[in-house]
Amino acid sequence: MSEDKKTGDLVPVGAEGIDTRRRRLTVAAGVVAAGTLASPWVHAQQKTIRFLNCEPSRDSVRAMKVAAAEYERVSGVRVVVDTVPPDQAYDKLQASISAGTPYDISGLIFVAHVVLLAEAGKLMPLTKMVNKHKWGPRILFPVKGEQYWYPYDYNFAWMYYRKDLYAAKGLKVPNTWDQFADNAKALTEGNNFGVTIPIGSNGAGQWLAPGFMWADGVKLLDDKWGLSLDTPPMKKKFSGYLDFMKKLSPSMPPGMSQALFATVIGQYSGGQTAMAPYAGRLMEVLEDRAPELAGKTGFFMYPDSVGKNVAVNHGYDGWVVVKTPMQEEAMKFMDWFTENQYINFLHTAPLHFQPPRMDVYEDRRWRAHPLIEKHGELVDFMRSILTRNDVIIRSVDTEGPAPDVRPGKMFESYGVMEAIQSRLIKDMPADEATELCIRKLKASIV
């Protein structure tokens, strides 16, 4: 036994020492734990953001995962990246929301989906983030004055052509439908065809076929959401477009009613067709799989019937931030990502992910990509779509005076595509096919 120095009580020998060690250990553990928990890094490490990526190419997935790892390193917040094909992103996002485990950030490829989500109160406004930069035309889709989507690319569809075959036949870049159809006819021989244009009731058809009709001034909706196609001048234009497609059809390979994006790329890169509509992806594929064709490939916009206007079919992709318990962290990540990783991400498809942010075109980091440097002419052409006043940029899903679900419904009714198919496959008179289209579109937006 020994005497307690303060109280004078007798205590077992060694008990004081044991008690002191315990206390010290306890205090030390408490300090470490408290310090650890209080430290922002460890506190943040418990947080996880779920990101639904809809760009499934190997490079894009890699870039997203590298960005996620980098963000975890600098902030301690874990970013889990799941990837789905673009056309499945909305379904997956809906399912996650319905299941009560929503993704915090998602890629989307359809403005109607953004509108639906925003109107359902599921999205965080990104207006402040978006307003930091200057954007190209028709790429922001505000809902009730707020921006709910951060665009990362344009995917305009224009026409590619084989310069060597044009030269061999003495052809010129067409300015009118007739010239285009004549060129396509001249380039059709045996198993080689003039042009591949999907005409099926699918995304490929609706993205790649209507460019000619936009160039000729066709509008589906007026400024009051009325069906402007149901007016005599528009009917005439649309019927003319259908007749042009009919004229073009003998120069197209069989099976166009089932043609997909891969069909177009495969047929052009395989040398089966001399012309094909697409965005920058086609040139990337040529560089990768058929480099001998890359240097022989030129490009032009869809011409109209009289040589007055040109057009591209609109295409776009972007990200949304979903209202979740992690929304604030998701907003911080988006802010960081769009300032620090945006160009890295664009570089994963350097010609296909056309920047919608105008500052990127001047950014030396973006211009430093070898494919962007090599295809300066194509890049200038792409940029000119944004800056020229005479280029028409339209698509079925972005018709109308404001972002809305109705053009999305028209898109999914495939009224335009069924009119083309009726004209080409059933040989339906153009006027009758036009009326069919009008009925389809009207029914879809009731």
Partner 1 sequence: MRDFTTPTDRLILGAFVLSILLVGALIAVPVLHAVELSFYKAESFISARQWVGLANYTRVLADPAFWHAFALGLGFALIAMGLQLMLGIGFAQLLNLPLRGRAFVRGAVVLPYLLPTVVIAVTTHWLLDGAYGLFTVWAQQLGFGRPAWYDHPVSAALLIIIASVWTWTPFVTITFLAGLQSIPASLYEAARVDGAGAWKRFWHVTLPMLKPVLLVVVLLRSIWMFNKFDIVWLLTKGGPLGATEHLPILSYRKAFNQFDVGGGAAVATLSFLVLSVMIAIYFWYFPLDDKGAEK
Site string for partner 1, 350-389 (x = CB under 8 A): ----------------------------------------
Whose Cβ is closer to partner 1: residue 141's or residue 152's?
141
Other CB atoms within 10 Å distance of the CB of residue 161: 26
Whose Cβ is closer to partner 1: residue 7's or residue 98's?
98
Nearest to 263 by CA among 330, 205, 201: 205
Tell me which of 248, 418, 434, 438 binds partner 1, using CB under 8 A.
Answer: 418
- Residue 396 to residue 364: CA distance in whole angstroms: 35
Residues paired with residue 78 on neighbouring β-strands, in sequence order: 48
User: Shortest Cβ distance from residue 204 to partner 1 (Å)?
Assistant: 11
Whose Cβ is closer to partner 1: residue 199's or residue 343's?
199
Site string for partner 1, 87-116 (x = CB under 8 A): ----x--xx-xx-------------x---x
Whose Cβ is closer to partner 1: residue 335's or residue 412's?
412
Residue that has been written with the tokens 């620090």 in this structure: 340
Whose Cβ is closer to partner 1: residue 193's or residue 212's?
193
Whose Cβ is closer to partner 1: residue 93's or residue 157's?
93
Residue 55 binds partner 1 (CB under 8 A): no
Site for partner 1 in 237-296 (CB under 8 A): 253-258, 267, 272
Other CB atoms within 10 Å distance of the CB of residue 92: 16
Residue 117 binds partner 1 (CB under 8 A): yes
User: Shortest Cβ distance from residue 442 to partner 1 (Å)?
Assistant: 14
Q: Which helix (H) or strand (E) element contains residue 361?
A: helix 358-362
User: In terms of C-beta density within 10 A (0-12 exposed, 13-18 middle, 19 or more buried), how is residue 298 classed?
Assistant: middle
User: Shortest Cβ distance from residue 412 to partner 1 (Å)?
Assistant: 5
Sign (positive or negative) of CA dihedral 135, 139, 145, 148: negative
User: In terms of C-beta density within 10 A (0-12 exposed, 13-18 middle, 19 or more buried), how is residue 322 classed?
Assistant: buried
- Residue 129 to residue 415: CA distance in whole angstroms: 37
Alpha helices in 203-326 (DSSP H): 203-208, 211-215, 232-248, 261-269, 281-289, 291-294
Residues paired with residue 311 on neighbouring β-strands, in sequence order: 302, 392
Nearest to 104 by CA among 43, 52, 46: 52
- Going by the DSSP 8-state scheme, the letter that residue 117 receives in this structure is H
Q: Answer yes or no: are the C-beta atoms of 330 and 124 closer than 8 Å.
A: yes
Tell me which of 397, 422, 434, 441 binds partner 1, using CB under 8 A.
Answer: 422
- Residue 285 to residue 244: CA distance in whole angstroms: 29
Stretch that binds partner 1, among 146-154, 194-202, 288-296, 370-378 (CB under 8 A): 194-202
User: Shortest Cβ distance from residue 417 to partner 1 (Å)?
Assistant: 9
Site for partner 1 in 387-406 (CB under 8 A): 405
Residues paired with residue 320 on neighbouring β-strands, in sequence order: 106
Whose Cβ is closer to partner 1: residue 91's or residue 390's?
91
Nearest to 138 by CA among 301, 387, 314: 314
Tell me which of 59, 335, 412, 431 binds partner 1, using CB under 8 A.
Answer: 412
Residue 416 binds partner 1 (CB under 8 A): no
Residue 297 binds partner 1 (CB under 8 A): no
Stretch that binds partner 1, among 24-32, 48-56, 117-125, 340-348 (CB under 8 A): 117-125
Site string for partner 1, 121-150 (x = CB under 8 A): -x----------------------------
Whose Cβ is closer to partner 1: residue 313's or residue 422's?
422
Phi, psi of 396 (to 5 degrees): -60, -40
User: Shortest Cβ distance from residue 270 to partner 1 (Å)?
Assistant: 8
Phi, psi of 106 (to 5 degrees): -145, 145
Residue 31 binds partner 1 (CB under 8 A): no
Residues of the shown chain interacting with partner 1 in the complex, contacts defined by CB under 8 A = 91, 94-95, 97-98, 112, 116-117, 119-120, 122, 191, 193, 200-202, 253-258, 267, 272, 405, 408-409, 412-413, 418, 421-422, 424-426, 444
